[in-house]
Structure 1
Amino acid sequence: MTRLLSLPDDDDTDAGRRRLLKSMAMLGLAAAVNPIRATRAANPWPSRPVRLVVPGSAGSGPDLFARPIADQLGKVLGQSFVIDNKPGATGIIGNDIVAKAAPDGHTLLFTYAATVVINQTLQPKMPYDGLRDLIPVVQVGGGGNFLAVTPDFPARDLKSFVEHVRSRPDAYDYASWGIGSGGHLTMEALKMQTGIRLRHVPYKTVPQILNDMQGGIVRVAFVDTSSSVPLIRAGKLRALAISGTRRGPATPEVRTMTEQGYPFETNSWYGMFAPAGTSAAIVQRLNAEVNRILASPAMRERFLLLNMAMPPVKTPEQFAQTVRDDVSVWGNVIRTNHITVD
C-alpha cells in the first residue's frame, strides 16, 4: 500500500521530519488559500436534478414563466430543473410539498401571489404556515388584473363605472375565478372604497368567464391581463382599468386604478420559494441567477407577450417584505368583508 506521507527512516530522521513538516504545511496552505473551493467540493449544489413544483396546470400562468426560467437555470447550474405541476386546492397542494421538503435546494416552489398571501388569511387550516415554512427567493413580474365589461356596458372608464353602478345597487353581478381569488378581493377592495354594490359570481377559470361575457351571461368581471387581450383588441370586451401599480406593456392604454382616482397599490406576481432552513448561499445564488435570466431579451419578450410588467430587481429580503406587506393588505380586505371559503 502506498503511503502519501511516510514516516522517516531511522538513518535520515532529521531530513525526513523536515520533509514531513513541509508537506503538512503545504497541505494546510492550500486549504487556507482556497476555502471556498474546498467548501463547494464538500457540499456541491445542485448535486442532482432540482424539482421545481408549480401549483398550476401545464400552460397556466405560473407554468408559462416557470418553464423558461427552469431551462436557463439548468444550463447555468449544470443540473436539470424539472417542472412538477401540482394544481388544486388554490395552490395548497403544491405549496405544502415544498414546505415539507428537505431544505437542501433540490425542491423549490414557483407559485403565484394568491397561494401565499391570500391563503395565509383565507385558509386558516392549511397544513403549513406560508410565512414560516417557505423562504421567499425571488420575485418574477408584478402586474394586475383587468376590470372588464361587455361592449354594451355604459361605462368607458373606472369613474363612470363607479358612478353607474353606485346609482343601481345590486343591479349587476360580477365574475371572478373563485372565492378568495385576486379578482374577487380586488373588487371587494373597490367596493370598500366606493360603496358600490355588486353580487359576486365565482367561476372556476378565466376562460369560462370570458366565454360567458361574450354570451352576455355576465357583463362585469375581473380577468387576467393575458388571455383577455385578444378579445379586448377585437372589441369584444372593454378593459376599464388594471389593478396594481403598473400598466400592462401590451396594453398601455389601460390606466391603473390609482391613476383613475381609486388607489390600489398591490401587485400580482409570480415568485420562487424554498423550504425554511435552506442555506442563505443557495437562496442568494438562485436570486442572482433568476434576476439575470429575467433581464435577458428572450424573457423581456415573454413578459411583453403575456402583458406582465417587470418591477425593480429585488433581493430575497426585499421580496420577503413584499410578501409580508401583501399578507397585511389582503388580510384586511378578507377580514373586513367577512370572506370565507365555506
Structure 2
Amino acid sequence: MTRRALCCACLCVAAGTGMAQSTYPSRAILMIVPQTAGGTNDIVGRVVSQKLSEILGSPVAVENRPGAGGNIGTQFAAKSAKDGYTLLMTISSSQAINPALYKNPGFDPVKDFKPVALIGAVPNVLLANADFPAKSMKELIAMAKAKPGQYQYASAGNGTLNHLLGEMLNSMAGIDLQHVPYKGVAPALNDVLGGQLPLVFASLPSSLAHIKSGKLKPLAVSSSKRSPALPDVPALSEVVPGYTGTLWIGLFAPAGVPADVQIKLQDAMAKTLAAKDLRDKLELQGVEMAGPTTPEQFATLLNEDIVRWAQIVKSSGASID
C-alpha cells in the first residue's frame, strides 16, 4: 500500500470512528430502576432521566423492575447488551448490601458494572403513625424497653437498608422492635398511615410529603447529622451515639460498554447534575446532592460500602436464600 493510500485509509477509519461516536445515542435509552414506583430511587430516577434526556437529545425511559430486594432489575441490567442503551439507576442497599445478604444475588456489583455518576445521598427517617404515643426517640426507646417485642416496624423488605437500620437500632439501643417486611416502601408506608403498624423506616424522599401533611410523625433521621430538609428533627445519633446509615443513589452502565459511550454518559451526567433546576428539585425531596465525584471515586465508595455492610449483615444474622 502506498503512503498516500495508507493515509487515506487511516482518515477513513478516523472518520468512521468519529461517526460511530457521534451517533450515540441514536435511539431511546432504558434506565432500569430495580425498586417499586414511588420509592426514593424511582423519584430520583425520573427527575434525572428527564434532564439527561434533554442533554443527550434522546429519550431516557425509566422502567421499574422490582423484586428480590433489587436483584431482579439489577440482574436484567447486568445481562443487557453492552451498548449504553440500558443503564441502572440504583441505591446502595441493592448494590452494596445484597451481595452479602443473598447467597446468590445473580450479579457481581463490581465486575458486572461500571460506575457512571454518584448522584447523592438520603437519610432514612424513623416515622410513627400520627396517633402513636411516642413523640420523640427517647420516649420510643423508653416504651420499647418497658415492653420488649411489643412494637413493630415496617420496612421495604428483608435485608433492605430500612430493615438493617431497625436491627442496628435494636442492637445499639438495647431494645426489641419486631420487623415486618413489605414488598417495597409504598405498601409499608400505607400500612403505617392506616394504623396497621406503628413505625416504619423510610427514605426521606419517599416520606417527605406525608411528614409535611402531618400524617406521619418523624422521630429521627438516620444520618450522622440533621437533614437540611428536616432541620427540627434530630439525628438518631443524638440519642444513640454512633448510629448512622444513609443511602446513596448512583447511575451505572453494564461492564463492557464501549469506552467512548461510557465517556459520553459520564460527561452528560456531569452536566445533568450541575443543572440548578435539577439540583433544586432533588434537594426539595430531601436528597443531599453529591459534589463533583469521578467514576473512580464512586467505585471506591462502592467497595468500601460492600465491606462495611457485609460486617453489619453478618452481625445482624440476616440472610436470604
Q: Indicate which of 225, 241, 244 corresponds to 2:204.
A: 225
State the shift of 1:273 in Å: 0.8
**Separation (CA, whole Å) in 1 of partners of 2:85 and 2:232:** 42
State the shift of 1:142 in Å: 0.2
Q: Cα–Cα, structure 1 residues 323 and 314, in superposed 2: closer, same or farther, change >3 Å?
A: same
Q: Is the 8 A contact 1:45 1:105 kept in 2?
A: no
**Separation (CA, whole Å) in 1 of partners of 2:266 and 2:214:** 40
Q: Indicate which of 106, 119, 137 corresponds to 2:116.
A: 137
Q: Say whether residues 1:98 and 2:73 are aligned partners.
A: no
TM-score, structure 1 normalization? 0.81
**Separation (CA, whole Å) in 2 of partners of 1:284 and 1:264:** 38
**Separation (CA, whole Å) in 1 of partners of 2:120 and 2:294:** 14
1:11 paired residue number: none
Pick 1 or 2: higher relative contact order, CA cutoff 8 A, min separation 6.
2
Bigger shift: residues 269-278 or 41-50: 41-50
Q: Report SS of the residue matched to 1:183.
A: helix
1:326 paired residue number: 305
**Separation (CA, whole Å) in 1 of partners of 2:260 and 2:273:** 20
Q: Say whether residues 1:63 and 2:42 are aligned partners.
A: yes
Q: Is the 8 A contact 1:149 1:219 kept in 2?
A: yes
Q: Which runs of 5+ in 2 are unaligned?
A: none
Q: Report SS of the residue matched to 2:121.
A: strand
State the shift of 1:76 in Å: 2.6
Q: Report SS of the residue matched to 2:251.
A: strand
**Separation (CA, whole Å) in 2 of partners of 1:118 and 1:238:** 28
Q: Is the 8 A contact 2:155 2:202 kept in 1?
A: yes
1:236 paired residue number: 215
2:175 paired residue number: 196
Q: Indicate which of 287, 291, 304 corresponds to 2:283.
A: 304
State the shift of 1:93 in Å: 2.0
State the shift of 1:222 in Å: 1.0
- Identity over the aligned pairs, expressed in percent? 33
Q: Is the 8 A contact 2:103 2:320 kept in 1?
A: no
2:24 paired residue number: 46
Aligned residues: 320
Q: Cα–Cα, structure 1 residues 254 and 282, in superposed 2: closer, same or farther, change >3 Å?
A: farther
**Separation (CA, whole Å) in 2 of partners of 1:208 and 1:25:** 65
Which of 1 and 2 has greater Rg?
1
Q: Which runs of 5+ in 1 are unaligned?
A: 1-19
Q: Is the 8 A contact 2:78 2:107 kept in 1?
A: yes
Structural mapping, 1:174-185, within 5 Å:
174-185=153-164
Q: Is the 8 A contact 1:103 1:276 kept in 2?
A: yes
1:5 paired residue number: none
**Separation (CA, whole Å) in 2 of partners of 1:111 and 1:24:** 49
Q: CA RMSD in A?
A: 3.1
Q: Is the 8 A contact 2:225 2:237 kept in 1?
A: no
Bigger shift: residues 255-264 or 115-124: 255-264
Structural mapping, 1:118-267, within 5 Å:
118-245=97-224, 247-267=226-246
Q: Cα–Cα, structure 1 residues 173 and 85, in superposed 2: closer, same or farther, change >3 Å?
A: closer
State the shift of 1:188 in Å: 0.8
2:53 paired residue number: 74
**Separation (CA, whole Å) in 2 of partners of 1:169 and 1:155:** 15
- The CA deviation string for residues 44-75 of structure 1, in whole angstroms up to 9 with x for no partner, is 45153233222234554323322342333333
Q: Cα–Cα, structure 1 residues 153 and 77, in superposed 2: closer, same or farther, change >3 Å?
A: closer
State the shift of 1:240 in Å: 1.2
Q: Is the 8 A contact 2:35 2:184 kept in 1?
A: no
State the shift of 1:316 in Å: 0.8
TM-score, structure 2 normalization? 0.85
1:285 paired residue number: 264
**Separation (CA, whole Å) in 1 of partners of 2:64 and 2:186:** 20
State the shift of 1:79 in Å: 3.3
Q: Is the 8 A contact 1:174 1:198 kept in 2?
A: yes
Q: Cα–Cα, structure 1 residues 68 and 263, in superposed 2: closer, same or farther, change >3 Å?
A: same
